[in-house]
A and B are shown apart, each in its own frame.
Chain A
Amino acid sequence: DAMVIQNPRYQVTQFGKPVTLSCSQTLNHNVMYWYQQKSSQAPKLLFHYYDKDFNNEADTPDNFQSRRPNTSFCFLDIRSPGLGDAAMYLCATSARTSGGNEQFFGPGTRLTVL
């Protein structure tokens, strides 16, 4: 089945210790997104890639970086996690960015910062 896969599902890190979250997709979609979602809040878009074109949201902290080495994979690097970065991180894909193209989400990675 075509899908969006995220690893790990649960990640525990220490304050300031770098962490990398991964996302892969078998949908062959052009667009990949990284969202941060805190409890009872809307998903917050961090970045998106259209093919290899990287788009950073204006309010995404420099502490967050992303890589997309190929169509199938995308990584989220948190260079120095703080307590406020504890959240669910959602990866999503869509065929295009234009209207009507739904986003397909992976199961998410729940990050805990100790």
Chain B
Amino acid sequence: GQNIDQPTEMTATEGAIVQINCTYQTSGFNGLFWYQQHAGEAPTFLSYNVLDGLEEKGRFSSFLSRSKGYSYLLLKELQMKDSASYLCAVMDSNYQLIWGAGTKLIIKP
């Protein structure tokens, strides 16, 4: 079966750096997405990786290793507004998105 694993919850301090990991096993691979979802709101797109390596976008970076079935989202200079769930999703060979359950990130002052 297809599977996306990410930690259920993480806690970090305002101003710090946090890395959220995602491992996946899917039938085929057409890219990996990270979405941010605040409580009670819809997911919003953060990043897309299809090739190995690091993609940097401001305070957020996303890394992919296809051979390891692994990605991480790196958040720097954490702000209170970064408290949210972060969802990892992989596009499989049928171009369907397989979603992880999300990692709830709690930021403490």
Which residues does A use to contact B, with CB under 8 Å?
Answer: 40-45, 88, 90, 97-100, 102-108, 110
User: B96 contacts the other chain (Cβ, under 8 Å)?
Assistant: yes
Among A88, A99, A104, contact of B31 (Cβ-Cβ < 8 Å): A99
Which residues does B use to contact A, with CB under 8 Å?
Answer: 4, 8, 30-31, 33, 40-45, 48, 50, 85, 87, 91, 95-97, 99-102, 104
A88 to B38, CA, bound (A): 13
Query: Do residues B101 and A100 form an inter-chain contact, with CB atoms below 8 A?
Result: no
Q: Name A's interface SS.
A: loop
Among B30, B41, B102, contact of A98 (Cβ-Cβ < 8 Å): B30
Query: Do residues B101 and A41 form an inter-chain contact, with CB atoms below 8 A?
Result: yes
Q: How far is the CB of B83 from chain A (nearest CB, A)?
A: 15
Query: Do residues A42 and B96 form an inter-chain contact, with CB atoms below 8 A?
Result: no
Query: Do residues B96 and A45 form an inter-chain contact, with CB atoms below 8 A?
Result: yes
Query: Do residues A99 and B30 form an inter-chain contact, with CB atoms below 8 A?
Result: yes
A114 to B4, CA, bound (A): 33
Query: Do residues B41 and A108 form an inter-chain contact, with CB atoms below 8 A?
Result: yes
**Which residue from chain B places its CB closest to the CB of A55 in the assembled complex?**
B96
A88 to B81, CA, bound (A): 22
27 contacts between A and B (CB under 8 A): A40-B8, A40-B85, A40-B104, A42-B4, A42-B87, A42-B99, A42-B100, A42-B101, A43-B99, A44-B99, A45-B97, A88-B40, A90-B42, A97-B95, A99-B31, A99-B91, A100-B31, A100-B48, A100-B50, A102-B33, A102-B48, A103-B97, A104-B45, A106-B42, A107-B41, A107-B42, A110-B40
